Structure 1
Amino acid sequence: MRSPGKLLRAVLLGMSWVAANAVRAEPPRFTPVAPGIDYAIFDQRPEDIEPARIHAFKIDLEVAEVRLVSAGGPASRRTVAQIAAPYPVVVAVNASFFDTEGRAIGLGVNDGQLLAAGKRQSWGALVVDGKKARIVLGGDIQDYRAYRLVVQGIPRLVVGGKVQRLKPQVAERTAVCAAGGSITIAVTTRIETTDFARFLADAPEKGGLGCSDALNLDGGPSTQLVVRLPSMNLSLPGWAVPNALVAVPGRM
């Protein structure tokens, strides 16, 4: 017969194993939904707030194309659904922050053309050069014409695989990760900032996306998602915004 001490240790070890496995997320299972676009959905269950649902789209820049599409003039705003209406097949999310007059904040570039000129030196920026993407500081961008696409955001959630020190705040969020020949767009329901950043940075075997660099785009009521593909349709509505980050799949 086991001694009471050994029995207690066995029970505690068993409880620890169950608890660890109860909170461990499953590795992400991305499924192709269009040429150059894979999709996965995650449910995060933080202890102190309601569960968060995260939609993630991995975009292969060798196959699909990403664009920053303006709502119109400098102070124009439309919903992402309205901005993406001309595209029969598309994945689109909100992008730039905007001021009280509706003007995009930060640098905005599409196909080398300037959409928004107010570069923020200390903000992060998603830059796409040809078919390669990365996230840099605004101050590192010397000539916007060197890039096919630029959109700025704040804060940088993950830098070099490390979660940054972030202001605690619970909100809907839109973020983008960049890793050379691909980007990953993530849209979530209400979640705390650091929890979201940790999910983005965690390795796939820990249930995360494994992002080495991730940038927060506008969020809260601006967060929205439009998916119009042969294999799926999805709409998460939001406020009118100055532009949208649009992914167009390769030839069907």
Structure 2
Amino acid sequence: MLREETAKLLMMIQGAYPNYKPDNKTVTINTWNLALSDISFDLAEKAFLAYLRADTKGFAPAPGQLIALVHELNTPQQLNELEAWSLVEKAIRNSIYNSQEEFSKLPPLVQKAVGSPNVLRLWAADGSYSEQVASSNFMRSYRNEAKKQEEYEKLPADMQQMIDQTNRNSYSAQIREKNRDAIQIMTTTENAEIEVKDEPTGISQQSDERLKKLIEDFRKI
């Protein structure tokens, strides 16, 4: 949004809320322009009109309130907790030998809440598995991940890039990468032993060696 557009938006706000009288208009325009710099005037105007039509208290909006409305107007609605769990529940049924494939089918936010394909496989193979406990833990995790994603998407693009770069270089990211490699090898080994029953020894030994080496590398992080 251009500075002139920000000034126009503030004039609209002041027109609707006559008691909104900033002490220093120049500072106010500059501050709002900084906060809304990556948002188009058209979206900001729509967000203000949505705020105005819903407001029953008579207070002018803060920049963050308009940004939240822009995000709400411009972002597809996420799955709710029950909808997300229904996808996980379906994936669990086929995850004893196909956890990697089932995990890849889940939406990114659901993947974050689950953690890894290995979690699906453990749930599927656990004889004492409790759907009530698993669903409760998942929904709590999904709720936290959805909130973090919502806050992330409100940030300017340059700040999102900084966060992405920091996350890629983090220790936890290295662990996730190692886990993905280990799970891939474990899944490949399991499938190979099932599909090639006449030659299980060579395949199993080769994959076991690769897995041992991967685990050793993982411990060095």
The structure where helix makes up a greater share of residues is 2
Bin for the TM-score computed over the shorter chain: under 0.3
TM-score, structure 2 normalization: 0.24
Highest RCO, 1 vs 2 (Cα 8 Å, sep ≥ 6): 1
Q: Which has the larger radius of gyration?
A: 2
